[in-house]
Amino acid sequence: MEKVLVTGGTGYIGSHTVVELQNAGYEVIILDNLSNSTIESVTRIERITGVKPHFENIDCLDYVSMDRMFASYGNISAIIHFAASKAVGESVKKPIHYYRNNVNGLMNILELMPLHGVENIVFSSSCTVYGQPDVLPVNENAPTKPATSPYGNTKQICEEIIRDLVHSGESKIKSIVLRYFNPIGAHPSAEIGELPIGVPNNLVPYITQTAIGLREKLMVYGDDYDTPDGSCIRDYINVVDLAKAHVIAVNRMLNKKLDEDIEYFNIGTGKGMSVLELVNLFQKATGVELPYEIVGRRDGDIVKVWADPTKANKVLGWKAETSMEDTLKSAWEWEKKIHAKEGAAAKRARAREASKQ
Ligand code: NAD
Ligand code: UD1
């Protein structure tokens, strides 16, 4: 069995990818420092697949422990590097943490790979590298734009580090860089999903937490943009579909099918959806009424972005398959599983407050 190391494998996208890798017959080693996930993911993955992945509680910044881990498993065929800090707002407040964690973590891995004979790495990048594209849908040849946050900058810097290393002529490392659009939803089993800490910044967790009662209402940031209904447009991609793209990327590297030593792919549906369209679809898909209010624009928001996924469709043979309706239902099933009690209690507390006034 080929071994794949998944850094950040107990996290949101990582855990879904581990499930798909195991379903495809890979032996998976998860490396995670549990800074933004819990060990429970490992049990939940086992419940879905019937196989318990290896788990190593190691920090990517800890070169010595990583070195030991590589040596003890031996023969790792490929790495999928998810481990990173990802909160845009926090990155503005703590830039050094973000540069250290995201950039140094990658550097350690890239330095250790040749020492342990590992040649293949899939890197988690983001459509954030395109900023507000001049042409939509955006394809992989579009220029990158100056990052609007330290987080976004780490993705650009990491892409550049990998590119320079691959092109150095001194390295056998090959890489597939996947630029995700907006991953949402949860596994259909509702065993794994997104676990935001504190108040969510992203749209779908905020919607599901509002629907369950944890938040009073959704704030829609702006309806006066240059879009058909005035709200911003994104390309929301089902997390299981996204996870499958990683398995295809690993297969492609192991079968030595790369056209170039570093390849870039947009992973999106190709369809843009506005905030208001998504809110309406959530209500239709779940039958739950969602209180919301239109408020002012959020600083730094991109107006509209959606992928041209033709390259991934043709070259990888990958395509987003799950409907947005099913994706939103899966997010809702997951929310009910994790927050039903807390949501009901928060609703009761609000009702008590309201009756006092
Ligand atoms: P996540 O926070 O759920 O998962 C990241 C995991 O990495 C967590 O389990 C965390 O504990 C771990 N981690 C962080 N720093 C680590 C370190 N130094 N050593 C070991 N483990 C560490 O995030 P996610 O949404 O699953 O994102 C995964 C990757 O995809 C990240 O690189 C993120 O930047 C990228 N990405 C995410 C999105 C998104 O919307 N979720 C969009 C584009 C790109
Ligand atoms: C954000 C990050 C981006 C990151 C992506 C996925 C910023 C500027 N960008 O992008 O770098 O890759 O998440 O993690 O933060 N919205 C509301 N109300 C809310 C929350 C969001 O109306 O409570 C709107 C936003 O204005 C936006 C859309 O919903 O138009 C999607 O927002 P979000 O989920 O935060 O994703 P991005 O802005 O695409």
Calpha distance 133→143 (Å, rounded)? 8
Which positions are annotated as active-site residues?
Answer: 151
pLDDT score, position 38 = 96
- Choice from 224, 234, 304, 305 to test ligand 2 binding pocket (greatest atom count within 8 A of CB): 234
Q: How far, in Å, is the centroid of ligand 1 from the Cα of 193?
A: 13
* Nearest protein CA to atom 20 of ligand 2, as residue: 203
Calpha distance 59→66 (Å, rounded)? 8
Q: Which residue matches tokens 């590589």?
A: 70
Residues found in the chain? 357
pLDDT in tens, 283-312: 999 999 999 999 999 988 999 999 999 999
**Nearest ligand by distance to the CA of 303:** 2
pLDDT at 313 over 90: yes
- Check: pTM over 0.95? Answer yes or no: yes
pLDDT at 14 over 90: yes
* Nearest protein CA to atom 15 of ligand 2, as residue: 88
- Choice from 231, 232, 269 to test ligand 2 binding pocket (greatest atom count within 8 A of CB): 232
Question: How many CA atoms are closer than 13 Å to the CA of 274, on its beta-carbon side?
Answer: 16
- Choice from 182, 217, 231 to test ligand 2 binding pocket (greatest atom count within 8 A of CB): 182
Q: How far, in Å, is the centroid of ligand 2 from the Cα of 316?
A: 27
Work out the pLDDT band at 357, boundaries 50, 70, 90: confident
Please check whether residue 2 is in contact with residue 79, taking contact to mean a CB–CB distance below 8 angstroms: no
Strand pairing class (3-7; 76-81): parallel
Task: Provide, rounded to the nearest whole percent, the portion of the chain with pLDDT above 70.
Answer: 100
Q: What is the average pLDDT across 145-173?
A: 96
Domains of the chain, earliest start first: 3-184+236-267 (3.40.50.720), 203-234+271-305+323-355 (3.90.25.10)
Q: What is the average pLDDT across 193-211?
A: 95
Q: How far, in Å, is the centroid of ligand 1 from the Cα of 22?
A: 20
Measuring from each residue's beta carbon to the nearest atom of ligand 2, which residues come in under 6 Å? 88, 126, 128, 152, 182, 201-203, 206, 218-221, 232, 234, 275, 298, 300-301
User: Which tokens hold the place of 241?
Assistant: 């579909």
pLDDT score, position 105 = 98
pLDDT score, position 267 = 99
Strand pairing class (54-57; 76-81): unpaired
pLDDT in tens, 240-291: 999 999 999 999 999 998 999 999 999 999 999 999 999 999 999 999 999 9
pLDDT score, position 197 = 86
Q: Which residue matches tokens 């929310």?
A: 335
Please check whether residue 162 is in contact with residue 102, taking contact to mean a CB–CB distance below 8 angstroms: no
* Residue 25 CB neighbours (<10 A): 10
Q: Chain-wide mean pLDDT for the chain?
A: 97
The verdict on the CB of residue 105 being under 6 Å from ligand 1 is yes
Residue 183: φ, ψ to 5°:
-70, 130
Calpha distance 162→178 (Å, rounded)? 13
Sequence letter at residue 122:
V
H/E stretch holding 76 reads strand 76-81
Contacts 24+ apart (CB under 8 A), 333-338: 333/186, 333/190, 334/186, 334/187, 334/190, 334/192, 334/193, 334/194, 334/208, 335/193, 335/205, 335/208, 335/209, 335/211, 335/212, 336/190, 336/212, 337/190, 337/193, 338/193, 338/195
DSSP-assigned letter for residue 313: I
Q: How far, in Å, is the centroid of ligand 1 from the Cα of 79?
A: 14
Q: What is the average pLDDT across 223-238?
A: 98
Q: How far, in Å, is the centroid of ligand 2 from the Cα of 201?
A: 7
The verdict on the CB of residue 101 being under 6 Å from ligand 1 is yes
Q: How far, in Å, is the centroid of ligand 2 from the Cα of 197?
A: 16
